[in-house]
């Protein structure tokens, strides 16, 4: 699995993962902030989406197209 994108808000990560799943891409949300972040307490962008390496390019295209349609 490869990190596709990091988020500061859990709901945004879950929405993006749901979009990817609806396109047939397995997406996993990993929320490090749920465990207190890192030892320095920084939790900004601690939530990330991971996808299979083979799906990375297509997943990036899907998220980019979604971002453009929101503009």
Output the tens digit of pLDDT for each of the chain's 71 residues. 999 999 989 999 999 999 999 999 999 999 876 555 555 555 566 899 999 999 999 999 999 999 888 76
Is 0.85 topped by the overall pTM?
no
Would you tell me the crossing angle of helices 56-70 and 10-22 to the nearest 10 degrees?
110
Place of tokens 């859990």: 10
For each of the domains in the chain, give its residue range(s) and CATH number, in order of start: 2-70 (3.30.70.1530)
């Amino acid at each position: 699995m490869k990190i596709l994108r990091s988020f500061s808000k859990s709901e945004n990560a879950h929405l993006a993962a749901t979009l990817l799943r609806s396109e047939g891409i397995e997406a996993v949300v990993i929320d490090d902030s749920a465990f207190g972040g890192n030892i320095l307490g920084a939790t900004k962008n601690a939530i990330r989406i991971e996808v299979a390496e083979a799906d990375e390019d297509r997943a990036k295209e899907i998220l980019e197209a979604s971002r453009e349609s929101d503009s």
